[in-house]
Amino acid sequence: MHIRIYRYDPETGAQPHMQDYTIELESGDKKLLDVLMRLKNIDDSLSFRRSCREGVCGSDAMNINGRNGLACITALSTLKEPVVLRPLPGFPVIRDLVVDMTQFFAHYHEIKPYLINDDVPPERERLQTPEQRERLNGLYECILCACCSAFCPSYWWNPDKFIGPAGLLQAYRFIVDSRDTATAERLAYLDDVYRLYRCRTIMNCTEVCPKGLSPSHAIEGIRLELVRASS
Protein backbone atom coordinates (compact mmCIF):
# COMPACT_ATOMS: atom_id res chain seq x y z
CA MET A 1 0.00 0.00 0.00
CA HIS A 2 1.20 3.46 -0.95
CA ILE A 3 0.88 6.10 1.78
CA ARG A 4 1.93 9.77 1.66
CA ILE A 5 2.32 11.44 5.01
CA TYR A 6 2.79 15.06 6.02
CA ARG A 7 6.06 15.38 7.89
CA TYR A 8 7.15 18.26 10.08
CA ASP A 9 9.98 18.29 12.58
CA PRO A 10 10.04 21.29 14.91
CA GLU A 11 13.68 20.60 15.84
CA THR A 12 14.99 21.22 12.35
CA GLY A 13 12.31 23.84 11.72
CA ALA A 14 12.41 22.91 8.02
CA GLN A 15 9.25 23.41 5.97
CA PRO A 16 6.75 20.54 6.22
CA HIS A 17 6.99 18.04 3.36
CA MET A 18 5.19 14.95 2.14
CA GLN A 19 6.95 11.62 2.58
CA ASP A 20 6.06 8.49 0.60
CA TYR A 21 5.88 5.09 2.22
CA THR A 22 5.19 1.73 0.63
CA ILE A 23 4.16 -1.12 2.85
CA GLU A 24 2.89 -4.62 2.17
CA LEU A 25 -0.50 -5.24 3.73
CA GLU A 26 -0.71 -8.16 6.14
CA SER A 27 -3.78 -10.20 6.96
CA GLY A 28 -4.25 -8.42 10.30
CA ASP A 29 -4.40 -4.97 8.66
CA LYS A 30 -8.02 -3.90 8.73
CA LYS A 31 -7.98 -0.25 9.68
CA LEU A 32 -5.72 2.62 8.70
CA LEU A 33 -4.29 2.76 12.23
CA ASP A 34 -3.03 -0.84 11.92
CA VAL A 35 -0.83 0.21 9.02
CA LEU A 36 0.29 3.40 10.74
CA MET A 37 1.42 1.44 13.79
CA ARG A 38 3.47 -0.89 11.61
CA LEU A 39 4.96 2.08 9.77
CA LYS A 40 5.95 3.50 13.14
CA ASN A 41 7.92 0.31 13.79
CA ILE A 42 9.78 0.78 10.55
CA ASP A 43 10.31 4.55 10.90
CA ASP A 44 10.16 5.52 14.55
CA SER A 45 10.47 9.24 13.76
CA LEU A 46 6.87 9.18 12.48
CA SER A 47 4.54 10.79 15.05
CA PHE A 48 0.81 10.53 15.55
CA ARG A 49 -1.52 10.20 18.53
CA ARG A 50 -3.55 7.13 19.28
CA SER A 51 -4.77 5.37 22.34
CA CYS A 52 -7.94 3.28 22.38
CA ARG A 53 -7.65 2.14 18.74
CA GLU A 54 -11.42 1.63 18.60
CA GLY A 55 -13.02 5.02 18.07
CA VAL A 56 -13.55 5.91 21.71
CA CYS A 57 -10.76 8.23 22.81
CA GLY A 58 -10.76 10.54 19.81
CA SER A 59 -7.00 10.99 19.73
CA ASP A 60 -6.15 9.83 16.20
CA ALA A 61 -8.16 12.36 14.22
CA MET A 62 -6.41 13.37 11.01
CA ASN A 63 -7.08 14.43 7.46
CA ILE A 64 -7.37 11.26 5.41
CA ASN A 65 -7.52 11.72 1.64
CA GLY A 66 -8.87 15.23 2.11
CA ARG A 67 -11.47 14.47 4.77
CA ASN A 68 -11.13 14.37 8.54
CA GLY A 69 -11.58 11.05 10.30
CA LEU A 70 -10.24 8.66 12.90
CA ALA A 71 -7.51 6.38 11.58
CA CYS A 72 -8.58 3.57 13.92
CA ILE A 73 -12.07 3.18 12.45
CA THR A 74 -11.26 4.00 8.84
CA ALA A 75 -11.30 0.71 6.93
CA LEU A 76 -8.35 0.27 4.57
CA SER A 77 -10.67 -1.16 1.94
CA THR A 78 -12.45 2.20 1.60
CA LEU A 79 -9.26 4.16 0.83
CA LYS A 80 -8.02 5.15 -2.60
CA GLU A 81 -4.25 4.99 -3.08
CA PRO A 82 -2.03 6.78 -2.51
CA VAL A 83 -3.54 7.33 0.92
CA VAL A 84 -2.69 10.92 1.78
CA LEU A 85 -2.48 11.74 5.48
CA ARG A 86 -2.20 15.27 6.81
CA PRO A 87 -2.74 16.81 10.24
CA LEU A 88 -6.14 18.30 11.10
CA PRO A 89 -6.60 21.38 8.89
CA GLY A 90 -6.18 24.77 10.50
CA PHE A 91 -4.67 23.46 13.73
CA PRO A 92 -1.05 24.34 14.63
CA VAL A 93 1.18 21.35 13.91
CA ILE A 94 3.41 20.15 16.74
CA ARG A 95 5.01 17.29 14.79
CA ASP A 96 3.88 15.27 11.77
CA LEU A 97 0.22 14.35 12.40
CA VAL A 98 0.17 15.66 15.96
CA VAL A 99 -1.62 18.99 16.34
CA ASP A 100 -1.97 21.48 19.17
CA MET A 101 -5.48 21.15 20.64
CA THR A 102 -5.06 23.91 23.26
CA GLN A 103 -7.45 26.34 21.62
CA PHE A 104 -9.96 23.61 20.80
CA PHE A 105 -10.19 22.58 24.45
CA ALA A 106 -10.24 26.18 25.62
CA HIS A 107 -13.46 26.58 23.62
CA TYR A 108 -14.81 23.43 25.23
CA HIS A 109 -14.15 24.76 28.72
CA GLU A 110 -15.59 28.12 27.80
CA ILE A 111 -19.09 26.68 27.40
CA LYS A 112 -18.99 25.27 30.96
CA PRO A 113 -19.26 21.58 30.10
CA TYR A 114 -20.78 20.48 33.38
CA LEU A 115 -24.19 20.53 35.02
CA ILE A 116 -25.02 23.76 36.77
CA ASN A 117 -27.76 23.43 39.36
CA ASP A 118 -27.73 25.32 42.64
CA ASP A 119 -30.91 23.73 43.98
CA VAL A 120 -30.44 21.52 46.99
CA PRO A 121 -29.75 18.09 45.57
CA PRO A 122 -32.34 15.41 46.33
CA GLU A 123 -31.31 12.56 48.59
CA ARG A 124 -30.41 10.15 45.81
CA GLU A 125 -30.07 11.60 42.34
CA ARG A 126 -31.69 14.15 40.03
CA LEU A 127 -34.15 12.08 38.07
CA GLN A 128 -35.10 12.49 34.43
CA THR A 129 -38.05 11.13 32.55
CA PRO A 130 -37.22 8.89 29.60
CA GLU A 131 -38.25 11.76 27.31
CA GLN A 132 -35.90 14.19 29.04
CA ARG A 133 -33.10 11.65 28.82
CA GLU A 134 -33.90 11.07 25.15
CA ARG A 135 -32.98 14.68 24.34
CA LEU A 136 -29.35 14.01 25.26
CA ASN A 137 -29.03 11.32 22.62
CA GLY A 138 -26.90 12.39 19.68
CA LEU A 139 -25.11 14.89 21.93
CA TYR A 140 -23.53 13.10 24.87
CA GLU A 141 -21.70 10.62 22.59
CA CYS A 142 -19.21 13.25 21.40
CA ILE A 143 -15.61 12.15 22.01
CA LEU A 144 -14.05 15.59 21.35
CA CYS A 145 -11.92 14.31 18.50
CA ALA A 146 -12.08 17.70 16.70
CA CYS A 147 -12.76 16.14 13.29
CA CYS A 148 -15.71 18.52 12.96
CA SER A 149 -14.15 21.78 14.12
CA ALA A 150 -11.08 21.13 11.98
CA PHE A 151 -13.33 20.68 8.92
CA CYS A 152 -15.41 23.81 9.54
CA PRO A 153 -14.48 26.76 7.30
CA SER A 154 -15.91 29.20 9.84
CA TYR A 155 -13.57 27.73 12.45
CA TRP A 156 -10.60 28.00 10.06
CA TRP A 157 -11.20 31.74 9.63
CA ASN A 158 -11.92 32.56 13.29
CA PRO A 159 -10.50 29.77 15.47
CA ASP A 160 -9.90 32.17 18.35
CA LYS A 161 -13.44 33.58 18.53
CA PHE A 162 -15.84 31.04 17.00
CA ILE A 163 -16.55 28.22 19.46
CA GLY A 164 -16.77 25.72 16.63
CA PRO A 165 -19.10 22.77 16.06
CA ALA A 166 -17.67 20.53 18.80
CA GLY A 167 -17.98 23.16 21.54
CA LEU A 168 -21.43 24.19 20.34
CA LEU A 169 -22.68 20.60 20.28
CA GLN A 170 -21.48 20.28 23.87
CA ALA A 171 -23.11 23.59 24.78
CA TYR A 172 -26.42 22.33 23.40
CA ARG A 173 -26.03 19.10 25.36
CA PHE A 174 -26.22 21.15 28.59
CA ILE A 175 -28.84 23.58 27.30
CA VAL A 176 -31.31 20.75 26.71
CA ASP A 177 -30.46 18.90 29.92
CA SER A 178 -33.53 19.06 32.16
CA ARG A 179 -31.31 18.98 35.26
CA ASP A 180 -29.34 22.08 34.28
CA THR A 181 -30.67 25.41 35.53
CA ALA A 182 -28.25 27.77 33.77
CA THR A 183 -29.98 27.66 30.38
CA ALA A 184 -30.56 31.42 30.22
CA GLU A 185 -26.93 32.25 31.05
CA ARG A 186 -25.68 29.69 28.56
CA LEU A 187 -27.86 31.15 25.81
CA ALA A 188 -26.88 34.72 26.67
CA TYR A 189 -23.22 33.76 26.42
CA LEU A 190 -23.71 32.25 22.97
CA ASP A 191 -25.66 35.22 21.54
CA ASP A 192 -22.65 36.68 19.78
CA VAL A 193 -21.65 37.10 16.13
CA TYR A 194 -18.46 35.20 16.75
CA ARG A 195 -19.17 32.53 19.33
CA LEU A 196 -22.31 31.10 17.68
CA TYR A 197 -23.26 33.09 14.62
CA ARG A 198 -20.10 32.45 12.57
CA CYS A 199 -21.78 29.17 11.64
CA ARG A 200 -23.21 29.36 8.10
CA THR A 201 -24.76 25.87 8.22
CA ILE A 202 -22.23 24.51 5.76
CA MET A 203 -22.59 21.11 7.49
CA ASN A 204 -18.99 20.09 6.93
CA CYS A 205 -19.02 19.21 10.62
CA THR A 206 -21.84 16.69 10.29
CA GLU A 207 -20.22 15.26 7.14
CA VAL A 208 -17.13 14.12 8.98
CA CYS A 209 -18.21 13.32 12.55
CA PRO A 210 -16.93 9.77 13.10
CA LYS A 211 -19.61 9.18 15.74
CA GLY A 212 -22.39 10.10 13.31
CA LEU A 213 -23.43 13.13 15.36
CA SER A 214 -24.78 16.34 13.88
CA PRO A 215 -23.24 19.50 15.34
CA SER A 216 -25.05 21.56 12.70
CA HIS A 217 -28.35 20.24 14.00
CA ALA A 218 -27.35 21.19 17.55
CA ILE A 219 -26.42 24.69 16.36
CA GLU A 220 -29.80 24.97 14.64
CA GLY A 221 -31.31 24.01 18.02
CA ILE A 222 -29.36 26.69 19.87
CA ARG A 223 -30.48 29.37 17.42
CA LEU A 224 -34.10 28.33 17.80
CA GLU A 225 -33.77 28.31 21.60
CA LEU A 226 -32.38 31.83 21.35
CA VAL A 227 -35.34 32.93 19.24
CA ARG A 228 -37.68 31.39 21.78
CA ALA A 229 -35.82 33.05 24.66
CA SER A 230 -36.02 36.51 23.11
CA SER A 231 -39.64 36.40 22.03
Q: Which residues contact ligand SF4 by CB under 6 A?
A: 58, 142-148, 152, 154-155, 165-166, 169, 199-205, 209, 211, 213, 215-216, 219
> How many Cα neighbours within 13 Å face the side chain of 101?
20
Nearer to ligand FES, 55 or 159 (CB): 55
- Please identify which residue in 19, 65, 128, 178 interacts with other proteins, judged by CB under 8 A: 65
The whole-angstrom separation of Cα 48 and Cα 16 is 15
213 binds ligand FES (CB under 6 A): no
Nearer to other proteins, 29 or 191 (CB): 191
* Residue 6 interacts with which of ligand SF4, ligand FES, other proteins, none, CB < 5 to 8 Å by class: other proteins
Nearer to other proteins, 94 or 179 (CB): 94
Nearest to 210 by CA among 87, 25, 75: 75
Tell me how far CA of residue 216 lies from CA of 4, 74, 144, 184, in angstroms.
31, 23, 15, 21
> What string marks each residue from 39 to 68 as x (binds ligand FES by CB under 6 A) or -?
-----------xxxx-xxxxxx--------
State which amino acid sits at residue 173: R
